[in-house]
Chain A
């Protein structure tokens, strides 16, 4: 089908493309072959920025406007974060175009972010002519070597005929197994060169790549036996549940087993926030109960999570008493940080049902009561004041609380990095999976604004709210231009504490309040937004908050709401660096 020159609606998946492909060969330029490959892979939206070395692909794009939506961003970093947001909200592969040299190097932060957060991306970069490689030609950088440690796979194409196969491999690798970013660098001659192309063949197999581990039933049986005799089991789940699209299987597992379950920030939303067995967030700024009780459970069941140090705190004080069962698709995660007594290597969509099958239905009333007791403690010490403050100044928590009331947990929340991120992730109500998009592993400031744009393209029917700090928004604020030009509908909730708040908190707690360069000035954001024809409002008092949030949500297009919040508020609970999770502080 992709060979037809008539504009055609993009096939929904690579399979349909193959089923309907005509077995004829046609002469195309490498650039055209690239776009045909994208269509065959079901790509509908590409984020990118042109330049000399990728002009042939942009030239071909001119004739593909009907089939392939291209979003012109304002900086390649914005482009790749947008593609990440798109991938995370849609579950599909995000696609980015960039030119050689500076265009390609501007992708580096996003690639690192996507690799650590397992986001499927295919980045296509232009490269200088093949005969100029290695000569320090104009805008030449060795992007393959630069990106080797931050891609799941990368490859340089110097001849047009290699393009379909390289892209087929790229998509297959990006989305299969543990997903991740892939970069394909295409020299300019390869884009321009004409070649005969057979119909596109998606890749389904690479001999040296085993993305789908064979599940070993003896380990599943051992895990079930361990769980069935547990008195105080605890489940920790991460993004693996979402990436494996195993939310249903996970819910069935939780509900039959009756085990309380806590989440990493990338796992948020896989089980609704309000689910009775959802006991809250793990880690440095997670909830009190799951952190403390990690050190009291007898069986710890980790599902699609990787025991990041922000989750475990000090490893030698982490869950020493527990038998650990680790379910993961990536064998390198098993035993990497925390030794597993029972490793269940496999896709959790496959392993969870096998495990659920072998479980006895249980409820653990006393054990669950422990979580409720800790919740009560945390509410009294922290949450009450954060969500329902009595002081004059607004808190970040109450903004999120009010937002919850208006969205009823239906929105996608995209967060930047800092205090607002921890508050939003802790307190946002999420009814659905793929509703929490944040930079977890890399903690990339500047992520949220472009990621929110991408998230809206990936899930156009949903409300997308970007929660951003006054520091983070200034890192990628130019993407307001992308919003202006495309008319994409993104709600920007800017929580302005006039500080690089998270760093200030550390300086306050661990460096004697020596506030070294964390006092950051801001422009008048509402005026800036209006310069980009984006509606905006600023509030600094409680009585105005709800109406302003409502106005933002009801506004027909994008909207920037700046909320002035307490300058020196701290995020608690907190596991201080170098402490065990049991040493989590409420104050």
Chain B
């Protein structure tokens, strides 16, 4: 193994951005042109209205991640980018598991399952039951292995969301940005809905 691959680890990239059409593509291109695979990507509103937040997980060396973070921050509509190894963030993923209700009720002790894995039943129907767990990868994986023998029908895990342990600094700045210059609404294409009514040539 090369030194490079030894130094690769999970990094959480957090980008605060304007809420703009096309920005996701601009950010994705920064990874794809360097042939870097995105392990997980989540976008959501931030605590400040009109400002969005990207959470991107990659497995890379610190040097590569630093360069990518700068490239992202260079985009006109990006306000700020942080990158952190896992120990610097609090992070969670959510998983849903669908299993046949009869099997699970007959052969497993549902209650024990739920207790041991911190799971929650989201839906219980005659034909299937859906459980939910939230946690780190290993935690959500554990329930997966447990449920596999019980005829697991479907499994899905969400993108990672993460909060930086130490990011008070930017929060104030964000609020300030928003106070001085409130964000614009994203411009939607209102014309798309009126296709048949519009004359063209």
Residues of A in contact with B (beta carbons under 8 Å apart) = 129-134, 144-145, 148-149, 152-156, 158-159, 162, 173, 187, 189, 205-209, 330-332, 335-336
B96 at interface, CB cutoff 8 A: no
Partner among A144, A152, A208 whose Cβ is within 8 Å of the Cβ of B18: A208
A152 to B26, CA, bound (A): 10
Give the CA-CA distance A330 to B74 in the complex, in Å: 8
Tell me whether B76 and A173 are in contact (CB under 8 A): yes
A173 to B26, CA, bound (A): 16
Chain A residue at smallest Cβ distance from B177: A207
Chain A contacts for B194, CB-based, 8 A: 131
Q: Which residues of A have CB within 8 Å of B190?
A: 130, 158-159
Q: Are B67 and A208 in contact (CB under 8 A)?
A: no
Evaluate contact between A331 and B70: CB separation under 8 angstroms. Answer: yes
Q: Which residues of B contact A132 (CB under 8 A)?
A: 195, 200
Q: For the complex, give the distance between the alpha carbons of A155 and B198 in Å.
A: 23
- Is B25 engaged at the interface, CB distance under 8 Å to the other chain? yes
Output the nearest chain B residue to A131 by Cβ-Cβ distance.
B191
With A153-B76, A207-B180: A133-B67 Cβ-Cβ less than 8 Å:
no
Q: Which residues of A contact B192 (CB under 8 A)?
A: 130-131, 133-134
Docked pose: A152 CA to B78 CA in angstroms: 13
- Chain B 57-73 per-residue mask, 1 if CB under 8 angstroms from chain A, else 0: 00000000011001101
Which of B71, B79, B187 is within 8 Å of A158, CB to CB? Answer: B187
B18: nearest chain-A partner, CB-CB? A208
In the complex, whether B5 has a CB less than 8 A from a CB of chain A is no
Known A-B contacts A207-B79, A208-B77, A208-B78; A133 and B71 likewise in contact (beta carbons under 8 Å): no
Interface: B112 (CB within 8 A): no
Does any Cβ of A come within 8 Å of B106's Cβ?
Answer: no
Give chain B nearest CB distance to A495 CB in angstroms. Answer: 35
Q: Within the assembled complex, what's the spacing in Å between the Cα atoms of A559 and B77?
A: 46
Interface of A is mostly: mixed
Q: How far is the CB of A271 from chain B (nearest CB, A)?
A: 29
Which of B18, B70, B79, B189 contacts A130, CB < 8 Å? B189
Whether B156 sits at the interface, judged by CB under 8 Å, is no
In the complex, which residue of chain A has the Cβ closest to the Cβ of B188?
A158
Which chain A residue has the least Cβ–Cβ distance from B71?
A332
Offer 8 A-B interface pairs, CB within 8 angstroms, sorted by A. Answer: A130-B190, A131-B191, A131-B194, A133-B189, A145-B22, A156-B21, A162-B187, A187-B191
Distance in angstroms between the alpha carbons of A159 and B189 in the assembled complex: 8
Given known pairs A131-B198, A207-B177, A208-B78, the reply for A158 and B191 (CB within 8 Å) is yes
* B29 within 8 A of partner (CB): yes
Chain A residues lying within 8 Å of B177, measured Cβ to Cβ, are 207
Contact B25 A145 (CB under 8 A): yes
Alpha-carbon gap, A19 to B47, bound state (A) = 39
**Which 10 pairs, one residue from A and one from B, show the smallest C-beta to C-beta distance?**
A130-B191, A131-B191, A208-B79, A332-B70, A153-B76, A131-B195, A207-B181, A209-B76, A131-B198, A149-B29
A283 to chain B, nearest CB (A): 23
Interface residues of B in 115-160 (CB under 8 A from A): none
Q: Report A140 CB to chain B, min CB distance, Å.
A: 12
Cβ of B17 under 8 Å from chain A: yes
Check if A208 sits within 8 Å of B17, measured CB to CB. Answer: yes
Q: Considering the complex, give the chain B residue whose CB is closest to the CB of A331.
A: B70
List, in ascending order, chain B residues with CB within 8 A of A207's CB. 18, 79, 177, 180-181
Residues of B within 8 A of A159 (CB): 187, 190
Q: Could you tell me if A129 and B191 are in contact, using CB atoms closer than 8 angstroms?
A: yes
Contact residues, B92-112 vs A (CB, 8 A):
none
**CB of B2, distance to nearest CB on chain A (Å):** 14
Collect the chain B residues with CB atoms within 8 Å of residue A148's CB: 22, 25-26, 29
Task: Compute how far the CA of A154 lies from the CA of B200 in the bound complex, rounded to whole angstroms.
Answer: 26
CB distance from A92 to the nearest CB of B (A): 20
Contacts of B70 in A (CB 8 A): 331-332
**Which chain B residue lies CB-closest to A205?**
B181
Q: Which residue of A lies closest to B33 (CB)?
A: A149
Q: Identify which of A189, A209, A331 contacts B191 (C-beta below 8 A).
A: A189
Residue of A nearest to B77 (CB): A208
In the docked arrangement, what's the CA distance between A56 and B123, Å? 57
Smallest CB gap from A149: residue in B: B29
Docked pose: A132 CA to B196 CA in angstroms: 10
The answer to whether B74 and A332 touch across the interface, beta carbons within 8 angstroms, is yes
CA distance A205 to B77 in the complex (A): 12
Distance in angstroms between the alpha carbons of A155 and B74 in the assembled complex: 17
From 13 to 30 in chain B, residues with beta carbon under 8 angstroms from any chain A beta carbon are: 17-18, 21-22, 25-26, 29
- With A131-B195, A208-B76 given, can you name 11 additional A-B contacts, CB distance below 8 Å? A129-B191, A129-B198, A133-B192, A149-B29, A189-B198, A205-B181, A207-B18, A208-B78, A209-B76, A331-B70, A335-B66
Report the separation of the CA atoms of residues A145 and B33 in the bound assembly, to the nearest whole angstrom: 15
Interface hub of B70, B177, B191 (most chain A Cβ within 10 A): B191
| A129 cross-chain contacts in B, Cβ below 8 A | 191, 198, 200
Shortest CB distance A3–B (Å): 24
Q: Residues 149-178 of chain B: 1 if any A CB is under 8 Å from the residue's CB, otherwise 0?
A: 000000000000000000000000000010
Most buried by A among B33, B66, B74: B74
